[in-house]
Amino acid sequence: MAASPFAVLPASSSTRQAWRFGLLCGAFILLWFVGAAYGLGGDSALDNALCHQLAAASAWGLRALGWAATTDAVQPRLLVLDGQPSVIVGAPCDGLVLYALLAGFVLAYPGPARRRLWFIPLGILALWLLNIIRIIALALNHQYSPETFEFDHHYAFNTVAYAALGGLWLLWTRQAGAAAAATEQWPAASSTLAAPITQRPWLTIQAVVGAALLLTLALFSTYQNQVTAALSAAWSNALATGPAWLHRLPGATPGNGDVPDNVTHLALPVGAAYLGLFVATALLAMRLLLPARGWRVVWRCYASIVLVGVGLLAAGRLSGIPQANLLGRMALDLLVSLLPIAGLLVLLWRPIGAGTASAAVATAE
């Protein structure tokens, strides 16, 4: 296979630092999953407070821009524009997940502790302001272009929010790496790594194919319900016309007739097909975009998530503890999201030009 146009960051080249990052990320994710299983998720007191505050701040912003906006007296989450109900700020849109993802990544990624004290609050503030702008834009969208509201709400604005999160992740890795290099906490890139980096072209067929696969995954995530509905219809047709033994397969039918958001609640053949297709595409994309060292980190991370998810499902089934089963499903559902891909790419790659300065330092030494 051709050489990758990206290289592992010098800051994450140490095995010890890589293990530290992986273990801390795993611990934070586990804490989040446990919290979600025990009521930290939707409709918690913190979610309600965030939703009320966002709705009030968005109404203030609309009034500052000249629109007649307020929140509903009975339902404080409801934003009212020109006397008409406009947008309800729900728990999935309150930004709590984004704040947790930003704080967890920054705390896990090596870097000066003093910088964390200001980077995390300022990053959360930036995401909060972006969320208010998003809610204001959605209210105006509902008022003046209601036919595009659903698409913008579910896809366009969410893409902007997660792109901003990825940008903050990337900014932290660059700042942390620069600060650590300045204080000699981490070794500079070795000449054996840096020399061939500067000779590779940034745009190659391999990089283009990898980026195209990432775009495919984004489309899969955007239209996940439609894809799973099509797979469910195909499986239902196979059950209706196929041999009787298909009905005796474990998990041949889902718990209900709906097509839920999470693939682990689908019929087992449908969920396995979607999960396998998504994960295979993700691994192939990162294999094309990352060097061998980064690829080894990727498949070990995915293998660890699979082992944890399957282990929790087995423990839940054997012990009869529903929380273990729920945590196992959450872990496997994480595999069909873009978050692990975004985090791993931010951690493990950088454009070619970023290696030039490090190469010069290494050569001078």
Q: Could you tell me if 82 and 143 are in contact, meaning their C-beta atoms sit under 8 angstroms apart?
A: yes
100 or 150, greater pLDDT: 100
Per the document, the length of the chain is: 365
pLDDT value of residue 282:
93
Given a cut of 70, whether residue 53 has pLDDT beyond it is yes
Burial (0-12, 13-18, 19+ Cβ within 10 Å), 9: buried
**Which of 285, 287, 289 is closest to 215 using CA atoms?**
285
Band (pLDDT 50/70/90 cuts) for residue 354 is very low
Given a cut of 90, whether residue 110 has pLDDT beyond it is no
Given a cut of 90, whether residue 245 has pLDDT beyond it is no
Distances (CA, A) of 318 to 34, 314, 358: 19, 6, 53
Given a cut of 60, whether residue 14 has pLDDT beyond it is no
Average pLDDT rounded to a whole number, residues 308-335: 81
Given a cut of 70, whether residue 365 has pLDDT beyond it is no
Give the CA dihedral 243, 246, 248, 249, nearest 10 degrees. Answer: 160
Q: Apex CA 90: angle with CA 89 and CA 95, to 5°? A: 85
Given a cut of 60, whether residue 233 has pLDDT beyond it is yes
Band (pLDDT 50/70/90 cuts) for residue 201 is low
pLDDT value of residue 272:
87
**Angle between helix 157-182 and 96-108 (nearest 10):** 20
pLDDT value of residue 46:
77
Ranges 6-20, 125-139, 229-243: which has the least confidence: 6-20
CA 9 to chain centre: 20
Q: Could you tell me if 161 and 93 are in contact, meaning their C-beta atoms sit under 8 angstroms apart?
A: no
The pLDDT tens digits for 137-150 are: 988 988 888 888 87
Average pLDDT rounded to a whole number, residues 342-361: 56
Q: To the nearest whole number, what is the mean pLDDT of the chain? A: 76
- Amino acid identity, position 146: P
Longest CA–CA span in the chain (Å) reads: 72
**pTM to 2 decimal places:** 0.67
